A = this chain, B = another copy of it.
Amino acid sequence: MNAKTEYCENVHAIEGGAAVEIIDQTLLPNSLTYVTLRTLDECYDAIARLQVRGAPAIGIFAGYAFAALAHRAPDDSFAAFKTYMSHVHDRLVSARPTAVNLAWALDRMMGIVDAQSKENAIAICCALDEEAQMIQREDVAMCHSISEYGLSLLKDGMGIITHCNAGPLATSRYGTGLGPLLLGTERGMHFKVFSDETRPLLQGARLTTYELEKAGVDVTLICDNMASLVMDRMSIGACLVGCDRVAANGDVANKIGTSGLAIIAAHYHVPLYVMCPSSTIDMTCASGADIPIELRNGDEIKTMFYNAPTAPDAVPCYNPSFDITDHSLVSAIVTERGICRPPYSESLRGLAEKK
């Protein structure tokens, strides 16, 4: 199974723990390229530039990056080491503000440093290496467990809409949002999945369709603005998304477009399931209003950065050029002969008869 074999080392330590190797996700689906990161700037950029993305994967990466940078830290005094690692912590935390897992993993790694009472560079590095591996191992187990719980909410043959990418690439194995689909497919179940392309960076097109197609899941690519028509005309049983942070009241911060999808799903009585490790739940945030929203460079919208095909060849697209807006949602229809208000069956007939 691809989901198990190919992606379980999506992020891993190399060079005896002094470097981290990742799949450069900005190059998928057209090139499966591994990159090696050794310096603080490289590690920061890998997060900021989304070479590694997905809240759990960022947490795993931050653990390995922190450990690798400890291998390369100044070793003239324990105080200098701690000061440097504290700087590493703060710099990496700042790479992306919304996901809680990044700070969570780095706090956990810094806790290992803080717990050391004496200077023993080798022992500290070993402890950090082990902690990073443990974060990853825990994530593998978590994703499997999330996938089992999620699968209990789905039925064989169900139509599903996904947004962004919460698959193996975004986590360790299985993923969160895609986990039930991969696990169910392993067990012989069939789903009809529509993947939002997820503008502006196209994680749904580039990563979700790539992962699902490789795993043998029936997936069709749509633009984000097609989800309403798909829910109206196809038989959709659930929307599955991952998330970056959950507030104590259940408000969910996730990829831009999730709230719109959720509103549309509620309109069509389609359940929206949010799949995440419990570390994503931030009980210190009372509500979504307390979660900072990352604003990114507008060029990501204006410049079509991805000149190659945005999804694998084998993935079909559904490309309706129009949709139907139900009259109950229209406040007024404005024509050259006046403004029609509901009930339209009367006001439009009146307009036609005025001719």
Nearest Cβ distance between residue A153 and chain B, in whole angstroms?
Answer: 7
Among B307, B319, B349, point to the contact of A200 (Cβ < 8 A): B319
What 1/0 flags go to A215-236 for Cβ under 8 Å of B?
Answer: 0000001111111110010000
Nearest Cβ distance between residue A83 and chain B, in whole angstroms?
Answer: 31
Q: Are A327 and B252 in contact (CB under 8 A)?
A: yes
Number of residues of chain A lying within 8 A (CB) of chain B: 115
Q: Are A228 and B311 in contact (CB under 8 A)?
A: no
Q: Are A345 and B249 in contact (CB under 8 A)?
A: yes
> What residues of B have a CB within 8 angstroms of the CB of A275 in the complex?
334
Q: Are B142 and A256 in contact (CB under 8 A)?
A: no
Q: Are B250 and A330 in contact (CB under 8 A)?
A: yes
Q: Are B277 and A336 in contact (CB under 8 A)?
A: yes
> What residues of B have a CB within 8 angstroms of the CB of A307 in the complex?
304, 307
Among B152, B196, B273, B322, point to the contact of A294 (Cβ < 8 A): B322
Residue A331, interface by CB 8 Å: yes
Residues of A within 8 A of B (CB): 98, 141-143, 145-146, 149-150, 152-153, 176, 196-200, 205, 221-229, 232, 244, 246-267, 271-278, 280-281, 283, 288-289, 291, 293-304, 306-307, 309-311, 315-327, 329-340, 342-345, 347-349, 351-352
Nearest Cβ distance between residue A295 and chain B, in whole angstroms?
Answer: 6
Among B150, B260, B277, B334, point to the contact of A274 (Cβ < 8 A): B334
Q: Are B227 and A349 in contact (CB under 8 A)?
A: no
**Contact status of A259 and B323, CB under 8 A, knowing A310-B302, A338-B149:** yes
Please give me the residue from chain B that is nearest to A289 by CB atom.
B324
> What residues of B have a CB within 8 angstroms of the CB of A150 in the complex?
334
Nearest Cβ distance between residue A294 and chain B, in whole angstroms?
Answer: 4
Among B142, B271, B326, B332, point to the contact of A332 (Cβ < 8 A): B271
Among B261, B322, B351, point to the contact of A256 (Cβ < 8 A): B322
Please give me the residue from chain B that is nearest to A180 by CB atom.
B334
**Contact status of A273 and B334, CB under 8 A, knowing A223-B224, A301-B221, A351-B278:** yes
Q: Are B301 and A348 in contact (CB under 8 A)?
A: no
10 nearest CB pairs, A to B = A250-B344, A298-B317, A225-B257, A250-B327, A288-B324, A228-B260, A271-B331, A145-B336, A262-B329, A142-B336
**Contact status of A321 and B278, CB under 8 A, knowing A225-B199, A330-B262, A331-B271:** no
> What residues of B have a CB within 8 angstroms of the CB of A257 in the complex?
223-226, 228, 323
Q: Are B348 and A283 in contact (CB under 8 A)?
A: yes
Q: Give the one of A232, A323, A337, A352 with max B CB within 10 A.
A: A323
> What residues of B have a CB within 8 angstroms of the CB of A311 in the complex?
302
Q: Are B352 and A281 in contact (CB under 8 A)?
A: yes
> What residues of B have a CB within 8 angstroms of the CB of A347 in the complex?
250
The 28 sampled A-B contact pairs (Cβ below 8 Å) are A145-B337, A146-B334, A149-B336, A176-B334, A197-B199, A227-B260, A229-B259, A250-B340, A250-B348, A251-B325, A257-B323, A259-B323, A260-B323, A262-B330, A266-B329, A272-B325, A272-B329, A278-B351, A281-B333, A281-B352, A283-B348, A288-B324, A293-B320, A293-B321, A294-B320, A294-B322, A296-B320, A302-B311
